[in-house]
Amino acid sequence: MPDKGMEKNMQQTVFLKLCKENLDLVKKKQYRMDEDKGNELLENLAKDIKKGSSVQEILEIAEPLGLIAKSYGEKEYVFPLAKVIASLNQEGQMIAESFLNDFGNQDLYNNPIAPMVDNFITEAFSFCPDRTVDMMEAREGLKTGKPKTLQAIGDKYEITRERVRQIEEKFWGEVWEKNNPSYPKFICAFLCQFMAEKGSLIVQRKRKDFQIHRFLCKACRVPFRNYEKFGFAVKVLSPKERNAIQDDTIRLNLMYTQKLAKEFDGRFKLPMKKEDIEFVSTEIVQYFRKHMIRAERLYLTFLSTGHPLHFTDIQRFHNKLFPERTCTERSIRSALNAPRYVNQFGFVWIGTRGTYGLKEWGYEKPTENLMDMVTRIVSEVYNAEKKPVHLDYIRQEILKIRRVVKPSSIIIAASCNPRLERLSNRMFVPKDISKKDLETVLKKFNLRKPGRR
């Protein structure tokens, strides 16, 4: 049976050493580390702490406190604590460093962290008048989860809402003053809350303590972005990282949770642990799958297949991807031909009956029909060289303009064309040439008109 004292000492050592590593990363503005360097860090830490310790043991101690975690792709390590500390101002970072050193000397795993959040908030409020505390708790919704309006608070205390606003403004001004005794307590509450959440930077809106998370971020002056339509908020991310989550162009190209998660982790390098990335990606995909308009769903249907489709196939693939929002063939054709959607999403009829693609794939709507195109090719060649044109040459020229066309359609457009004269050996000349010129062509190229022996 392991020695509890030794185990406690190991936990404290891991905490303090990884806190120091996080603080060093803050100075470098680095919140991720590739797998090899991360493993080397953890292996060295395991050797220093206890003979026979493994990297997995270190992770089991550090991950529940947000000191380190695997990225979504598991090819890197992320350091959420470093990101949290970096979001604080200089005074806040000094307070955080001091708090973490003191905190690391406690019994980390037998003393619950969550109650410490309320204790630190209570201590912070102890420096304020009771009426101000009551007003701020009501205004921020700390106890009920529902913030009250200035008017509602003013009615309770028989003062104007402007007076309530002044008291609120004075409270925040004093909290953010240098050397204010409340500010360090709010920092401690903020860090305890982070560790109690196992290093998560995500807060679901439906949680009862959502307003407490928002209040502590405001008190510590760190970013708190509320994505109300997605049902969650994200803490401490930079503007660029926050914008990545709400970028509509991303979600139009990445409708699957795994693809979106890989984009957040690989392209944007969000400093969040795997579980956070998965949660954010899932919520975004579910939201947009539910709220997409028909044209957006059709666009994603094309992207999921990667090639042009007949409208009957579009309906089949669409209804498979969105079983809760099926479409008829008629509604699909209506959306594919609507000018506003053609301009916005690049839907294009590619020249084959009922078949559509995307402009971004290089397709363009034909400017002339197939029969006119065949007539033009034959006329241009004959007028320039006074010779008949073979069907294979016609097909080659058409395929330079149209990427998709059925061979049978070309044959019909040439053979049944009233402006062309069909000769033997699949050769064609314009219908309007003189009888003498036609006889010359037949004799010179050893051809005949169909039906003649």
* Burial 25-56, CB ≥16 within 10 A → b, else e: bbeeeebbbeeeebeebbeebbeebbeebeee
Is 32 inside any structural domain? Answer: yes
Q: Are residues 71 and 10 in the same domain?
A: yes
Last residue of a domain, one of 291, 324, 353: 291
**In a shared domain, residues 45 and 19:** yes
Contacts of 246 (CB under 8 A, 6+ apart): 227
The pair of three-digit structure tokens given for residue 332, joined into one six-digit string: 């699909």
Instruction: Give the pLDDT confidence score for residue 108 in this predicted structure.
Output: 60
Indicate if 353 and 392 belong to the same structural domain. Answer: no
The pLDDT assigned to 252 comes to 64
The per-residue pLDDT for 403 is 76
Q: Give the amino acid at 218.
A: K
Asked whether residue 404 is domain-assigned, the answer is yes
Q: Quick one: 22 and 50 in the same domain?
A: yes
Q: What is the 3-state secondary structure (H, E, C) of 271-297?
A: CCCHHHHHHHHHHHHHHHHHHCCHHHH
The residue ranges of the chain whose pLDDT is under 50 are: 1-2, 452-453
Q: What is the pLDDT of residue 243?
A: 87
Question: Per the domain annotation, does 116 fall within a domain?
Answer: no
| Bridge-based pairing state of the strands 232-235 and 224-227 | antiparallel
Single-letter amino acid, residue 9: N
Structure confidence at residue 112 (pLDDT): 84
State whether 45 and 56 are in the same domain.
Answer: yes
One domain, residues 313 and 263? no
C-alpha 64/C-alpha 109 separation (Å) is 10
pLDDT at 172: 97
Same domain, yes or no, for 267 and 334?
no
In the sheet where 427-430 sits, what is the strand order?
389-390, 427-430, 420-423
Among residues 231, 262, 291, which one ends one of the domains? Answer: 291
User: Does residue 143 lie within any of the structural domains?
Assistant: no
Same structural domain for residues 8 and 51?
yes
The string of DSSP codes covering 133-166 is HHHHHHHHTTTTSSPPPHHHHHHHHTS-HHHHHH
Please report whether residue 226 resides in a domain.
no
| Contact between 375 and 414 (Cβ < 8 Å) | no
Q: Quick one: which H or E segment has residue 235? A: strand 232-235
CATH code of the domain in which 393 resides: 1.10.10
| Residue 97: predicted pLDDT | 95
pLDDT in tens, 56-95: 989 999 999 999 999 998 889 999 999 999 999 999 999 9
Q: Is 439 contained in some domain?
A: yes
Per-residue pLDDT, 138: 97
Stated pTM of the model = 0.75
Between the CA of residue 139 and those of 156, 176, 181, 320, what are the distances in Å? Answer: 12, 18, 22, 47
Angle at 327 between CA 325 and CA 329, to 5 degrees: 170
The answer to whether residue 23 sits within a structural domain is yes
In whole angstroms, give the CA distance from residue 85 to residue 199: 12
Residues 434 and 375 in one domain: yes
Indicate the residue among 319, 334, 361 that finishes a domain. Answer: 361
266 in the same domain as 301: no
Instruction: Output the pLDDT for position 248.
Output: 67
Strands 355-358 and 389-390: unpaired
Determine, yes or no, domain membership for 152: no
- Do 335 and 380 belong to one domain? no
Residues 340 and 402 in one domain: no
Q: What is the tally of structural domains in the chain?
A: 4
Q: What are 105's two structure tokens?
A: 């000397």
pLDDT at position 245 is 86
Q: What residue numbers bound the domain in which 34 lies?
A: 4-86
pLDDT value for 260? 86
